[in-house]
Amino acid sequence: MKQKIITIFMAILMTGCGVNSASNQGESNEFDYTVEKFADLEILRYEVENFDELSLQQKELVYYLTEAALHGRDILFDQNYKYNLPIRNLLETIYENYKGDRKSNDFLNFEIYLKRVWFSNGIHHHYSMDKFIPDFSEDYLRTIATSIEDSLYKLPEGISLETELARLCPIIFDSTIAPKRVNQAQGEDLIQTSACHYYEGLSQKEVEEFYAKMVEGKGDQLPSYGLNSTLVKENGQLIEEVWKLGGKYSDAIEKIIYWLEKAQKVAENEQQKQVIASLIDYYRTGDLVLFDDYSIKWVHDTDSRIDFVNGFIETYGDPLGIKASWESIVNFKDLKATHRTEIISSNAQWFEDHSPVDPRFKKEEVKGVSAKVITAAILAGDCYPATPIGINLPNANWIRQVHGSKSVTIENITRAYDKAAKQSGFGKEFMWSDEEIKMVDKYGFITDNLHTDLHECLGHGSGKMLPGVSQDTLKAYGATIEEARADLFGLYYMADSKLVELGLLPNNEAYKAEYYKYLMNGLMTQLVRIEKGKNVEEAHMRNRQMIAKWVYEKGQPDNVVELKKRDGKTYVVVNDYQKLRLLFGELLAEIQRIKSEGDFKAAQNIVENYGVKIDPTLHEEMLERYSKLNLSPYKGFVNPVYKASYNADGSFKNVTIDYTEGYAEQMLRYSHDYSHL
């Protein structure tokens, strides 16, 4: 199962407190993090601290890697839904060229809809996966669209604007067409009911049988079959359209390769050059064996300060967890903060040995676990505008077991959330008492980052599969089980005195901040992200609710955790933190067993029983209380703008960073400069 990127559960606590535009770096002592709010979203900025510490060669490398990242943008739009790009093109043309009343309610709603499409990389909500419907009519869209010259639209050859509107309007306005990008509902055909563009004209049974035959009887060290292709049916035969140079998405991949080749020439060392060369070879051929070769080289490159992810990586966008969305993050090591993760990774064997899981599922020798704290320089693809706070890669279990993994915590992103969260009123509304508020205020930022470190570095890197168990055995439940495994590993060790001994926590009480926030979020507050009447579907949210509800239920005989009422409001109260830790350990042991043995039925039962259903009364209460705080449940970012300058002889002179670009301004520039499909 593909795991690693942890969605930002702490983001539910955040709200902006700044003004609508940010200052240039250096013009003010206070970096301005807030950009704007709309719908259920808030746009923030992140600061690329210590960029000036980098050498000129390192800055040049960052610049080329950021260009390689931005040129893949259109791939994700198409992967999310086959009509996303023509819809985006239609909306952007109207937005840039409409000369009528731009202050009317209809046009303002049109603008919000377009901004949501940009944020979600398509017409389905980035988190709930539900299609969002405009708050303006089809007649209005047709009116403003036809007021603009047809020649300004990017239309397929021979297609009129009227024909394009006839094709796209039902998709935009009819809630029954492609209602769900990723459907995880038990008992339904997950392929036929999901709008994602990884399969065409196929059933779930056909897809599962196709890939099952690929791995049958071939051992454990296999490529991640299906990772980089669209599966279609031609003349009754199933065919993979591979994403590569000369294949699907070739025009975008050609640009990515161009900038990777420039980056290769200024790599920091020979090992990094080989990493980039292997990635280029993979993009040229689409050969997944070469992707594994690249992944292995990437894991072993621990000396370079500049690092990046670029490619088809995460499988959360596929209901079966096979196909990978395109993403990229460019980053560099935070030398001071990395000391924390180096302590964790150097003690990885101790944590593995003392884990409460069955010895059969433990690694006898933990190999190649490296971890660092990074500063994100650019976010792209499935990491933009919404982004992870931590990464653990590669995903192939056999590579992790033989060669190890690389983990990162993205601290300038977590800092942006923390800085934007001041005076939100969230704690006073949802926490039981001043004791919990003060505890979270004092230790919350420390424990958030440490839990991410433990989740990514040790959680995903821990344990092993039994021989013959495929990483895709758990199917649609695999992502939830894997995220639960990593979360539980981190939660269990948060309360261990070893962390105080290693200097990672200030005392033996600090961990309680993370325990309290986790249960409050899993049992109550994450529900504000879900529409009334819906179930929990996103893998990370299922994971958190599953863990929280399981320990709540199992701890009832000892009253470990309570849901208490006061003035008609529900609160979480933890009565025994040490017994709570034991419950986390008990559940970790079971989740690791399910993963290691590939126990699909047990995975299905625990996820469906604890992670999916919502108490409608509690849900309504959470939505009502949250609405009064004027907070946005989802956060995302605009990127900084990197500006390169050159000497008279054409040699590279310098790179500067500009933080003033607005959200719409950035999205339109990206569509003009980085669209190839």
Distance from C-alpha of 568 to C-alpha of 582, rounded to nearest angstrom: 31
Query: Residue 15 pLDDT > 70, yes or no?
Result: no
Average pLDDT, the chain: 93
Place of tokens 């979020």: 521
Distance from C-alpha of 517 to C-alpha of 441, rounded to nearest angstrom: 11
Task: Kindly report the pTM of this predicted structure.
Answer: 0.84
State the average pLDDT over residues 532-559: 96
| pLDDT band of 362, cuts 50, 70, 90 | very high
Q: How deeply is 215 buried, as exposed, middle or buried, from its count of CB atoms within 10 A (0-12, 13-18, 19+)?
A: middle
Note whether 543 and 476 are within 8 A (CB).
no
What pLDDT, on the 0 to 100 scale, is given for residue 19?
28
What pLDDT, on the 0 to 100 scale, is given for residue 9?
39
Distance from C-alpha of 535 to C-alpha of 530, rounded to nearest angstrom: 8
What pLDDT, on the 0 to 100 scale, is given for residue 370?
87
Distance from C-alpha of 464 to C-alpha of 150, rounded to nearest angstrom: 58
Length of the chain measured in residues: 677
What pLDDT, on the 0 to 100 scale, is given for residue 21?
29
Name residue 650's amino acid: G
Q: What is the pLDDT of residues 653-676, one digit of tens each?
A: 999 999 999 999 999 999 999 999
Structural tokens at position 283: 């993009």
Q: What is the pLDDT of residues 57-70, one digit of tens each?
A: 999 999 999 999 99
652 membership: H or E segment, kind and range? strand 652-658
Distance from C-alpha of 350 to C-alpha of 585, rounded to nearest angstrom: 16
Query: Residue 1 pLDDT > 80, yes or no?
Result: no
Q: What is the pLDDT of residues 157-181, one digit of tens each?
A: 889 999 999 999 999 999 999 999 9
Query: Residue 8 pLDDT > 70, yes or no?
Result: no
Q: Among 486, 345, 363, 351, which Cα is nearest to 405's?
A: 345
Q: What is the pLDDT of residues 217-251, one digit of tens each?
A: 787 889 999 999 999 999 999 999 999 999 999 99
Q: How many helices (H) and strands (E) does the chain have?
A: 24, 15
State the average pLDDT over residues 4-26: 35
What pLDDT, on the 0 to 100 scale, is given for residue 605?
98
Distance of CA 545 to the CA centre of its chain: 18
Note whether 261 and 232 are within 8 A (CB).
no
Structural tokens at position 95: 């937005």
Query: Residue 5 pLDDT > 60, yes or no?
Result: no
What pLDDT, on the 0 to 100 scale, is given for residue 395?
92
CA distances to 56, 308, 608, 665 from 644, in Å: 11, 19, 52, 19
In this structure, the dihedral spanned by the alpha carbons of residues 291, 295, 296 and 298, taken in order and rounded to 10 degrees, is 140
- SS3 assignment, position 559: coil
For 58-107, give the DSSP string. Answer: HHHHHHHHHHHHHTTHHHHHHHH-TTHHHHHHHHHHHHHH--S-TTSHHH
State the average pLDDT over residues 462-483: 91
State the average pLDDT over residues 6-21: 35
Domain boundaries, the chain: 9-50+334-631, 82-181
| pLDDT band of 29, cuts 50, 70, 90 | low
State the average pLDDT over residues 148-165: 94
> What percent of the chain clears pLDDT 70, i.e. is strictly above it?
95
What pLDDT, on the 0 to 100 scale, is given for residue 674?
98
State the average pLDDT over residues 263-279: 98
What pLDDT, on the 0 to 100 scale, is given for residue 422?
65
